[in-house]
Chain A
Amino acid sequence: MNLTVNGKPAAIDGKEALNVHELLDALKVEQAQYVTVELNGDILDRDDFERAIIREGDAVEFLYFMGGGANR
């Protein structure tokens, strides 16, 4: 299926639907346990990662923690 991931086209072969955990695995997302996932503009609750299904044409954003700034 074809998705838009972080604004770029991405294809996942041989799958028509995935839950979020499977998607994170398929895309080899680093530090997946801390990533915030937005599906078609809505931020998903971590508790919904099992239930939420990604399908053809969906837009997914992965948002990462970023510290930085003062050298504290």
Chain B
Amino acid sequence: MLTEEQIERYSRHIILKEVGGKGQKKLFDGKVLIIGAGGLGSPIALYLAAAGVGTIGIADADVVDLSNLQRQIAHHTKDIGVPKVESAREKMVAMNPDVTVKTYQEWISASNIAQIVADYDFVIDGTDNFAAKFLINDACVLAGKPYSHGGILQFDGQTMTIKPGESPCYRCLFPAPPPKDAIPSCSQAGVIGVLPGVLGTIQATEAIKFLLGKGDLLTGRLLTYSALRMKFREVPVKKSPKCPVCGENPTITELVDELDALNVCDLEKA
């Protein structure tokens, strides 16, 4: 049951016919895991907390750095040196004490991801390295867990929602990660600060729609965004029969770290 204060807090949700009191209850009962508490993770964490998503997990091993603050809006100047998950939790709970925030101050890997993901209804990829992106995809596909992929670089972004078994996965598009050093990271190539706000907010929207069971998810289509041209495009994507994880003869049947793709984070540390 919603308290009077909650009815007031969520009144602009409750008034929507697609949400209502029932939908708000679904959000309370919902559990969403955000992997990465950086550029994408910040708006995702803040909006999901504001929306009253009852349990929000947030995983990131990193601490806040001065160079993060141009875009990672969950972190403030006073947080420099503080673990990102702690900094994010503080803002989320301050904004909405109704939500429970579970923090995982660790890098996800083949050895811990399945266990973490198992506790959640929906997963959001807010990471910036391909090792993590492919691992999240594989873990979610193998666990049948819906998730939102998001990627950003310079002025461009892309996002797609994956419902394992029903819709194409990240590996249907990109069967394997690019080799070391092939694709620049944000710290090497730069990123306009508002960009993760646009993409992260779309990813949070997908989580909320999934929990509500309303609308059409961004499945089977890759949404690309160019901030410079101010254009969104949608590219239809089909499930690939040859996909190494969700195809007809999958070669990936257990989780392994894509060691060749791990360099992005190492470089960003430097």
Given the known A-B contacts A66-B156, A69-B196, are A43 and B36 also in contact in the complex, defined by CB atoms under 8 Å?
A: no
Taking CB atoms and an 8 Å cut-off, the chain B residues in 200-224 that contact chain A are 222
Taking chain A's interface residues, is the majority helix, strand, or loop, or is none over half, making it mixed? loop
**B162 contacts A by Cβ under 8 Å:** no
Q: Which residues of A contact B191 (CB under 8 A)?
A: 68
Interface size of B in residues (CB-CB distance below 8 Å): 53
CB distance from A46 to the nearest CB of B (A): 8
**A19 contacts B by Cβ under 8 Å:** no
CB distance from B205 to the nearest CB of A (A): 16
CB distance from B246 to the nearest CB of A (A): 13
Q: In the complex, which of the residues A31, A65, A67 contacts B186, with contact meaning CB atoms closer than 8 Å?
A: A67
Q: Are A31 and B182 in contact (CB under 8 A)?
A: yes
Q: Which residue of A lies closest to B158 (CB)?
A: A66
Given the known A-B contacts A7-B233, A38-B235, A63-B222, are A69 and B126 also in contact in the complex, defined by CB atoms under 8 Å?
A: yes
Q: Are A68 and B153 in contact (CB under 8 A)?
A: yes
CB distance from B81 to the nearest CB of A (A): 14
Q: In the complex, A20 Cα to B218 Cα: how many Å?
A: 28
Taking CB atoms and an 8 Å cut-off, the chain A residues in 24-72 that contact chain B are 31, 34, 36, 38, 41-43, 45, 61, 63-72
Q: In the complex, which of the residues A36, A63, A65, A66 contacts B157, with contact meaning CB atoms closer than 8 Å?
A: A66
Counting chain B CB atoms within 10 Å of each CB, the highest count among A7, A64, A65, A71 belongs to A71
Q: Which residues of A contact B126 (CB under 8 A)?
A: 69-70
Q: Which residues of A contact B187 (CB under 8 A)?
A: 71
CB distance from A50 to the nearest CB of B (A): 16
Q: Which residues of B contact A38 (CB under 8 A)?
A: 235, 237
Q: In the complex, which of the residues A31, A36, A71 contacts B183, with contact meaning CB atoms closer than 8 Å?
A: A31
CB distance from A26 to the nearest CB of B (A): 21
**B161 contacts A by Cβ under 8 Å:** no
Q: In the complex, A70 Cα to B60 Cα: how many Å?
A: 8
| 5 nearest CB pairs, A to B | A70-B38, A68-B152, A66-B151, A70-B36, A69-B40
